[in-house]
A and B are shown apart, each in its own frame.
Chain A
Amino acid sequence: DVQMTQSPSSLSASVGDRVTITCRASQSISTYLNWYQQKPGRAPKFLIHGASSLQSGVPSRFSGGGSGTDFTLTINSLQPEDFATYYCQQSYTPPLSFGGGTKVEIK
């Protein structure tokens, strides 16, 4: 099975900051990597598929990159509504495992 590891597990940032979250796969998964955002008490929201393809309606300050085993989610100019937990997920092979999540908190 492919194990997904996110870092950091949490971070504190201010509105306007640029934030980068890292996701690492235990084996190469090409670009079969998705990102989701979850706010407390809410269902996850889909952000990015294929490592870098932004879902329609997601603000352009979100971007994804990487291939193979190392991936990033970058939020440029963090907005108040971006404070949430972010999860990566691999779609290379079942089980379609998630990373442990990165909580983005207000500094």
Chain B
Amino acid sequence: EVQLVESGGGLVQPGRSLRLSCTPSGFTFGDYAMSWIRQAPGEGLEWVGFIRTKAYGGTTKYAASVQGRFTISRDDSTSIAYLQMNGLKTEDTAVYYCARADGATGYYGDLYYYMDVWGKGTTVTVSS
């Protein structure tokens, strides 16, 4: 069965750091980009960022709200994706989901992503 499991969430004080992990099973991790998405309590989905596969340079992109504070990385040897969160703010409080980002060829012949497999999420609470 294809699945993702997030871990590492918890209660943290403002300004501190936290690292989330995403552990996959049932598919070849290195073949897929990975994305992080969050959802604040009672709110909608917010894309946090993604990391491409090594074949596409392993490059990353982020939402403006986390750029410079959050870092997404991947270890294909152990099949784990990470979300390193530094300088946490109270507004970072959310359920954090990791998702597999599969790709398809678009109208212009380029690659576009969609999140086809999601983990159940891990809760991060930033509070003093």
Contact = CB atoms under 8 A, between A and B. Distances in A.
Contacts of A43: 97, 118-121
Q: How large is the interface on A (under 10, 10 to 19, 20 to 34, 35 or more residues)?
A: 20 to 34
Given A43-B119, A50-B104, A95 B62 contact: yes
Interface string B79-93: 000000000000000
Contact of B115 (A46, A50, A53, A85): A46
A104 to B, nearest CB: 14
A87 B47 contact: no
Interface residues of B, number: 27
Interface of A: 1, 30-32, 34, 36, 38, 42-46, 49-50, 53, 55, 85, 87, 89, 91-92, 94-101
B45 A44 contact: yes
Contact of A49 (B63, B114, B121): B114
B50 interface: yes
Interface in B98-125: 104, 106-108, 112-121
Nearest to A46: B116
B47 A95 contact: yes
A30 B108 CA distance: 9
Interface of B: 35, 37, 44-47, 49-50, 61-64, 97, 104, 106-108, 112-121
Given A34-B115, A49-B104, A94 B61 contact: yes
B112 A44 contact: no
B116 A30 contact: no
Nearest to A48: B114
A32 B103 CA distance: 11
Contact of A96 (B64, B113, B117): B113
B113 to A, nearest CB: 5
A46 B115 CA distance: 7
